[in-house]
Amino acid sequence: MTSHSFVNGHIVTPRGVLSDAMVDVEGGIIVAIVDRAGPGAIDLDGGWLMPGFIDTQVNGGGGVLFNDALSVEGIAAIGDAHRPFGTTAFLPTLISDTHEAIAQALDATDAAIAAGVPGVLGAHIEGPVINIARKGIHDPRHFGALDDALMALLLKPRRGQVMVTLAPELAPADRIAALARAGVLVSLGHSDATYAEATAGFAAGVTGVTHLFNAMSPLVHRAPGVVGAALDDSYVYCGLIVDGFHVDDAVLRIALRARPADRMMLVSDAMPCVNAATKSFVLQGREIHVEGGRCVGADGTLAGSDLDMAAAVRNTVDRLGVPAERAAAMAATNPAAFLGLSRERGTIATGRRADWVQLDAGLHAVTTVIAGEIAAHAPPPSVAA
């Protein structure tokens, strides 16, 4: 058993925020937490110890785009890029692509889990059953129906979680229900659904909303749309991109007041530019550039983000006025619950994996720990967000 002690900081636990603590770890699992530090304690110097961040939408990082690197090596490179920012678990995310690419993505994720690539929980297939009216940066050439071939791909047993983002107005309710019964996490996104169509999707088995407010029908007072349906629902989990570009801060504050706190999740929607020296990349033949922190295509369309999870937490605290411990839950506890992994991850508590991130007083990541072992240190200032 190994003991990890911390003093002079804020240790986020389900029992509250502790100033000093000793965390005992055995076999990568937390076996005890004592409300006082032992010898050799790490001085947090007013900083934070939070549960490791869980990101359900990671398109790329470290110069690698998942669509272009459907392999164990590609997934490992993306994980390596995000780990210094506190991400201890993630879903590599495929932007709308061919059936062949979807099969390769799912197979590569299985292989990565089998190979022990740190933090890989499964795959997020974003599209291709999405509405061209809300396509965002997705390429319409790859759009299609939730047909038998795609159902077979999504329903094939896998080592990890399978998450799929789709537009419910384009997917039969019985097929959504079949996916949900099989354990596939169905999330609403890139949708022009009416309020009634969105709520019907929730009833059929949709349990998530992908990047709330972005690429979906908005809330209008006589046409509530997808946004209205999501704000009116107290069960589904909603992902938020808190980068100052995707959604206005005031709108995010309204959403956080409107919905249960435990149903909001931070996501990065990260692109290859995160933790990369080069701040441009190619997405399915289109040049994407980072301009003032925004990832945009030639026509100005947002194309994912240059955001990491530590920055998402920091923005949630600094820009939205959310307490740091609640932001930690949005980055770790709530995603774990959405993925059905609350008994394993998402909190610094006995019986959970010893995954955590140490941050300084300004909420910049310092050290990332996975299974009780140091997995990454803070990135160089040149690439830190």
CA distances from 90 to 234, 245, 312, 367 (A): 24, 22, 15, 17
Pick the closest to residue 283 from 126, 95, 61 (CA basis): 95
Has residue 186 got a pLDDT over 50?
A: yes
- The rounded distance, in Å, linking the Cα atoms of 362 and 381 is 14
* pLDDT recorded at residue 103: 98
Place of tokens 């932007």: 95
CA distances from 202 to 62, 109, 208, 233, 246 (A): 35, 27, 8, 9, 24
pLDDT tens, position by position, 142-166 = 999 999 999 999 999 999 999 999 9
- The rounded distance, in Å, linking the Cα atoms of 289 and 145 is 31
Q: Are strands 206-209 and 237-240 parallel, antiparallel or unpaired?
A: parallel
Distance of alpha carbon 185 from the chain centroid: 13
Q: Residue 13 is inside which H or E element, if any?
A: strand 10-13
CA distances from 359 to 18, 78, 231 (A): 15, 21, 31
CB 96 within 8 A of CB 144: no
What is the 8-class DSSP label of residue 263?
G
CB 309 within 8 A of CB 56: no
- The rounded distance, in Å, linking the Cα atoms of 56 and 338 is 9
**Residues 55, 97, 110, 269: which is the catalytic one?**
269
Pick the closest to residue 232 from 224, 241, 240 (CA basis): 224
3-state secondary structure of 255: helix
- The rounded distance, in Å, linking the Cα atoms of 123 and 62 is 18
Bridge partners, 52 (sequence order): none
**Confidence band of 72 (pLDDT split at 50, 70, 90):** very high
Assess whether the region 2-49+350-377 and the region 52-338 belong to the same CATH fold: no
Place of tokens 């190994």: 2
* pLDDT recorded at residue 385: 47
Q: Residue 153 is inside which H or E element, if any?
A: helix 148-155
For residue 135, give both structure tokens.
């396509």
pLDDT tens, position by position, 296-337 = 999 999 999 999 999 999 999 999 999 999 999 999 999 999
For residue 220, give both structure tokens.
């209008």
* pLDDT recorded at residue 382: 55
Who contacts 283 (Cβ-Cβ below 8 Å, separation ≥6)? Answer: 65, 67, 95, 137, 271, 297, 303
* pLDDT recorded at residue 361: 98
For residue 336, give both structure tokens.
């774990």
What average pLDDT does the structure give for the chain? Answer: 96
User: How large a percentage of the chain has pLDDT more than 90?
Assistant: 96
Question: Is residue 55 flagged as an active site residue?
Answer: no
pLDDT tens, position by position, 346-379 = 999 999 999 999 999 999 999 999 999 999 998 7
Distance of alpha carbon 14 from the chain centroid: 21
Q: Is 2-49+350-377 assigned to CATH 2.30.40.10?
A: yes
Mean pLDDT of 65-94: 98
User: Torsion angle of alpha carbons 241, 244, 250, 256, nearest 10°?
Assistant: 20
Domain ranges of the chain: 2-49+350-377, 52-338
Has residue 341 got a pLDDT over 70?
A: yes
Which CATH class for the 52-338 domain? alpha beta
Has residue 182 got a pLDDT over 80?
A: yes
User: Torsion angle of alpha carbons 153, 116, 49, 26, nearest 10°?
Assistant: 130
